[in-house]
Chain A
Amino acid sequence: MEEKVRREAERVLKELSEALGEIDLEETYYVVEEINITRADGEPELREGLRRAALEIAPKRDEEGYYIAEVGGWVA
């Protein structure tokens, strides 16, 4: 079953990607963007230092500012 599913998955990805095409727009990320649409109380508060502070205490991080998490040994 796995090989058949893999082949179909490749076809699905190719066709969806081609159908999408290219665009240059801001991305819509969940929560913040959605709440922005509906909230009546103005712009959300952005705490500039929060992300930096979180990264500073992360056990590992990469040069682009992402956490590096260890994948469990039981996961293929």
Chain B
Amino acid sequence: MSALEELRSGALSAKENVARYLEAIEARDGEVNAFIELNPHAEQEARRVDERIEEGKAGKLAGLVVAVKSNINVRGLRATCASKTLENYVSPYDATVIERIRREDGVIIGMTNMDEFACGSSGETSYFGPTQNPSARGRIPGGSSSGSAAAIAAGFADLALGSDTGGSIRNPASHCGVVGIKPTYGLVPRHGLIDLAMSLDQIGPLAGDVRSAALLLEVIAGHSDREATTLRVSPPEYSSALSADLSGMRIGFAREFEEYTAKEIIREVKHALSKLEAQGASVVEVELPSLDKALPAYYLTVFVEFFSATRRYDGRRYGYRIEEVCGEEVLRRIMLGRYISQKEYSGRYYRRALQFRSLIKREVLSALAEVDLLAGPTTPKLPHRLGESLSPLEMYAYDLLTVPANLAGIPAGVVKAGEVRGIPVGLQLHARPLEEQKILNAMYALEGGT
């Protein structure tokens, strides 16, 4: 029985649920390093939820334990972005997504580890030390939402929030063998999220199963007056609309995926696709001829937007000037962003990146016009061993298959497809804007739902 079912049946109280997770964290997080800070009021908040359950007033997440990435503001807890720059920054307010979780009686258990300022794909660049992959010991958990994915994989929380700019939810979900969703750009309010690149960032859920991820998504999604980029849509009740019947669903697989991805990963992905076919879907071949342009277009855009976002860390308001205390990857991106942002170079790099962004978006949406979902691998290679030295470009290559969704603003989800030598491999599914339900249904079918 899942925690949700136990809580709803009364077999488990919110307080007991929080206590068991705190016990697990106390026992094992020294090794995993999934959390930067725990919520000292979690048990007290759980008691209040139990009272609401008794009164019959509890919300959808009643008593479920939620871990939050350290770039999302939670009042009273530190939003460090895993950087020395913000090591003493205590949030004075709740992000909109946190308000919505609290309104539905979820309990925040703590702030998770991550790559510094979300600049990384391995979970190794945190000022607070790297995170271990609980599903593949000795390997990176992926990033940048490394602690959120690891917290789910290690059994430290029911649900977690991550942010995804170029794969930061999906990459660690794949490496840790959990479910992760990057929503349509504008579906979930970014208010309270500390920017990496504001035109690409989205907050999304991570969970151990598809129903839980769908539940958290429906709680955090929807328009907010505080945020001009949110779409004026009423998101459906994703969790109650889940269906594993894929009759009539057309799923596209791009042959370019095979060109850039390790054979052993492709084998697992194709095996997962055959399971979806058994549920009624048909798989057809589609083309993404400019897939190789997605990575440079993405990074040149990110450098500029990240540089702009970091100008507030000037040492006057948040303790430290970022360039004086940050790690190598953050410094590299600031240097690159500063250089590209200079007016005389803008046409040479940034504007060109935006043109290629148009091309990628056009190709991805064109492929999706023919099919309901676009399926493929999440990362082109298996996670490397913790501490192994990679060049910046080798590290960026992890994002090749995840950045197109961000460039096009479309939703994408990851669910475990299988394992290669004991290392999880995730199937990635893309859909047209606001068609998250199709992704969730296919993931649900793969998970064995009915």
Contact = CB atoms under 8 A, between A and B. Distances in A.
Contact of B359 (A9, A23, A34, A38): A23
B21 interface: no
Interface string A2-29: 1011101101110111011111111111
A21 to B, nearest CB: 7
A31 B355 contact: no
Q: Could you tell me the dominant secondary structure of chain B's interface residues?
A: helix
Contacts, number: 110
B353 A20 contact: yes
Given A8-B332, A35-B229, A38-B409, A20 B339 contact: no
Contacts of B408: 37
A19 B434 CA distance: 31
A1 B328 contact: yes
Interface of B: 184-186, 198-200, 228-229, 231, 233, 292-293, 295-297, 299-300, 311, 314-316, 323, 328, 331-332, 335-336, 339-340, 348-349, 351-359, 361, 365, 391-393, 396, 407-409, 433-434
A1 B409 CA distance: 36
A19 B400 CA distance: 13
Contacts of A20: 293, 296-297, 300, 352-353, 356
A12 B359 contact: no
Given A2-B331, A5-B332, A8-B392, A16 B296 contact: yes
Q: Which 6 A-B pairs give the minimum distances between C-beta atoms?
A: A30-B199, A27-B354, A16-B296, A38-B433, A20-B296, A28-B357
B349 A17 contact: yes
A8 B408 CA distance: 29
Nearest to B323: A76
B74 to A, nearest CB: 26
B434 A38 contact: yes
Given A16-B295, A34-B199, 10 more contacts: A2-B331, A13-B336, A16-B393, A17-B352, A25-B359, A31-B199, A34-B185, A35-B229, A38-B434, A39-B231
A73 B328 CA distance: 25
